[in-house]
Chains A and B, each alone.
Chain A
Amino acid sequence: MQHHKKALLLSIVPGLGQFYNKQWVKGLLFFLASVSFFIAFKDLLNMGLWGIVTLGTEVPRDNSVFLLAQGIIAILVLGFGLAVYYANLRDAYRNGKLRDDNQALHTLKDDYQNLIGQGYPYLISGPSLFVLIFAVVFPILFSFALAFTNYDLYHSPPANLVDWVGLQTFSEIFTVDIWRSTFFDVLAWTVVWTLVASALQVSLGILLAIVVNQKDMRFKRFFRTILVLPWAVPGFVTILIFAGLFNDSFGAINNDILAAFGIDPIPWLTNASWSKLALILMQGWLGFPYIFLVTTGVLQSIPDDLYEAATVDGASIWAKFKNITLPMILIAMAPIIITQFTFNFNNFNIIYLFNGGGPAVPGSTAGGTDILVSWIYKLTMQSSQYSLAAALTILLSVFVITIALWQFRRTNSFKEGA
């Protein structure tokens, strides 16, 4: 039998293949790594894998939700393990192959050099990826898994077990009347909110940056400092303060500002349309400084000679803006602008803190200004509809991701064209 086949077969037990290739240190490393892996994670893997399949069999001993989470962690850990295992097989095979071809084997030092050179990007992004997997990917997998269970008030630990039910929850969203109608109402407002609020904050930020950066403006430092203040105060603080200012009968906006102009009080908090307007204005206030700042950076990097050349050609201010400034800004800021949209799509804090998603609207299980995330939060925390909330999260994700990918393709080609 050829060396590479033997080495591959032997390394079914990690390390043996390397021993066969007479790479003792590496073999030992692989062997020890796998032994310690099994010792360290034996229980987790055992309970987790059993748990995720069955979701528990006995109450109150088994807590389905914990078993599910453990199961997902176990799968992630197993994934890491298998990756190492795969590397072990690959290494044994390759070195076996080298022996078959009568070539010199890599020394440990070679391997190390190779790791530093070829593996450099993996090495420096590895830790981030690791954190990302546990902090972001794991929760997402978990809530996706929940969507396929019947986890709700009547199927919740410790009194009851949760079971896998397949697509049932999804079909309910579209067949149960109150959920379907609420879902589409909320989705519609979420889309409007995302587009309008983001557009407002982006255009306001860009406009102000251009105004402040005019050559002949004075007090630039002062205005810049003032204009970024909304960013310096934590958002949740400002939102709660605004909630007070917008109060229908006692808020300063109705009583001091509008009254001074002789305008009748506006039902900011009790009328859904006014509430929506207030939210959009507030998000403009909260969101523009970030855009303002980044735009300022971009503006300062546009070389003067471009403008000088344009002036020589007799271009008007407007023409200069349209043909030089704006394209420059948009190209440089495309990714940032996209993040503004996704941020607002998931902007839970402002909706929840301002008016609790209210005011109430008749015949709907969500409030008049609830967006999808805040509705999902309410379903989870206030009415224990865990699986429904999870199913909605999936629908929401599919929705944003589709749009984002489509949008991303467009801006990408836009970039290449420019």
Chain B
Amino acid sequence: MQNMKKQRLIRLLFSYALLIFMTTIIVYPLLWTVGASFNPGNSLVSTSIIPANPTLDHYKELFAGKDSLQYVQWYMNSLKISLFTMLGTIISVSFTAYAFSRFRFKGRKNALTLFLLLQMIPQFSALIALFVLAQILGMMNSHWLLILLYIGGLIPMNTYLMKGYMDSIPIDLDESARIDGASNTRIFLQIIMPLSKPMVAVVAMNGFTGPLGDFILSSTILRTPESYTLPIGLYNLVNEVMGASYTTFAAGAILISIPIALIFILLQKNFVSGLTAGGTKG
């Protein structure tokens, strides 16, 4: 018994040590970013986590409304694009996954293979093509086109994940509902969707963060500063040969991370608690 206790103690000790180590590694760069955003000057050379004479200048600059730094506008654009991409992705992905998971129709196998393959070819391998598409449709600078493109890019992989998850929901549930006279759509909305919550949360997160990580595709379609998204704007901020400002970038980056972190914390419950005992296979 003594031995067991000792073992347990060592195990816990190692566990906490590992977690504290990871916590440091994770928090350090983030704190550094916060520190940088309060440092005077533009450089990344002399910044420190705790600035000697902190300043709010960089935050003020973001909201100063300069033509080349329309932070508020970009922020709104990004929020809009991310939200609608998220919604669109959830809807299209869950319907498609439902079709693949619960119906046996002609072309199903081929379509599944196609989905698997499509996610492997980088979408931006043909920026020119998307540019021409935008032009033919007369949708240059259109956020809606960009949203559709993002949704399209997210469909293959997320459908795959979602389908896998739905496969693990016992089919008896559908069948008993069908005997009670429920339609396909009702089964989907009232049984499958609620049970798929954890994966819906994952898909939602992918949909929301996807557009926030892209500056290649978006800068091809969005050609005027008013229509920019935050990634384009912030990337230009550090990429400009003259007057690159890492500190202003840091300030902008912090403000963009907050809403994501919030959404994340809201969704977090779903990620971990939704799975029921019947959730896994076998």
Contacts and interface: CB of A to CB of B under 8 A. Distances in A.
Interface of A: 44, 65-66, 69-70, 72-73, 120-122, 124-125, 127-129, 131-132, 134-140, 142-143, 146, 208, 211-212, 214, 216-217, 223-238, 240-242, 244-245, 247, 250, 252, 285, 293-294, 296-298, 300-303, 317, 328, 331-332, 335-336, 339, 342, 345-346, 348-349, 373, 376-377, 380, 386, 389-390, 393, 396-397, 400-401, 404-405, 408, 415, 418
Interface stretch (B58-66, B67-75, B98-106, B173-181): B98-106
Contacts of A134: 133, 148, 152
B222 interface: no
A327 to B, nearest CB: 10
B282 A418 contact: yes
B92 interface: yes
A346 B153 CA distance: 13
A132 B281 contact: no
Contacts of B95: 124-125, 127-128
A69 B133 contact: yes
A70 B119 contact: no
B93 A128 contact: yes
B204 interface: no
Nearest to B12: A216
A250 B113 CA distance: 49
B170 interface: no
Contact of B151 (A131, A224, A390, A396): A131
Contact of A348 (B8, B11, B216): B216
B122 A226 contact: no
Contacts of A331: 280-282
B160 A125 contact: no
Contacts of B249: 240
Contacts of B8: 216
Interface of A is mostly: helix
Given A241-B33, A297-B275, A135 B103 contact: no
Contact of B96 (A128, A349, A401): A128
Interface of B: 8, 11-12, 15, 18-19, 22-23, 25-27, 29-30, 32-33, 36, 44-46, 92-93, 95-96, 98-100, 103, 105, 108, 111, 113, 116-130, 132-133, 135-136, 148-149, 151-153, 155-157, 159-161, 164, 168, 184, 198, 202, 205, 209, 212-213, 215-216, 231, 234-235, 238, 246, 249-250, 253, 256-257, 260-261, 264-265, 268, 271-277, 279-282
11 contacts: A136-B118, A139-B123, A140-B121, A208-B19, A228-B268, A229-B26, A241-B253, A285-B25, A294-B202, A297-B198, A346-B120
A309 B230 CA distance: 53
Contact of A302 (B128, B135, B209, B280): B280
A362 B107 CA distance: 50
Nearest to A404: B120
* Closest CB pairs A-B (n = 10): A135-B152, A142-B129, A139-B126, A69-B132, A301-B275, A121-B99, A143-B126, A121-B103, A244-B44, A301-B279
Given A140-B125, A233-B257, A293-B272, A132 B152 contact: yes
Contact of A135 (B99, B151, B277): B151
A122 B261 CA distance: 37
Nearest to A139: B126
B261 to A, nearest CB: 4
Contacts of A339: 119, 157, 160-161
Q: Which of B12, B235, B264 has the most CB of A within 10 A?
A: B264
A291 to B, nearest CB: 11
A339 B203 CA distance: 13
A120 B116 contact: no
Nearest to B8: A216
Contact of A300 (B148, B261, B275, B281): B275
Chain B CB within 10 Å, residue with most, of A216, A298, A301, A397: A301
A223 B23 contact: yes
Contacts of A300: 272-273, 275
Contacts of B275: 297-298, 300-301
A70 B260 contact: no
B281 to A, nearest CB: 6
B28 to A, nearest CB: 8
A211 B15 contact: yes
Given A138-B129, A232-B257, A301-B277, A401 B120 contact: yes
Given A300-B273, A339-B161, A250 B45 contact: yes
A245 B123 contact: no
B271 A293 contact: yes
Contacts of A389: 125
A208 B22 contact: yes
B272 A224 contact: yes
Given A65-B132, A224-B272, A237-B234, A232 B121 contact: no
A163 B1 CA distance: 81
A252 B156 CA distance: 40
Contact of A397 (B22, B30, B120, B157): B120
Given A139-B133, A241-B36, A404-B120, 11 more contacts: A128-B96, A216-B12, A223-B23, A231-B205, A244-B246, A252-B32, A293-B202, A298-B280, A339-B157, A377-B216, A393-B122
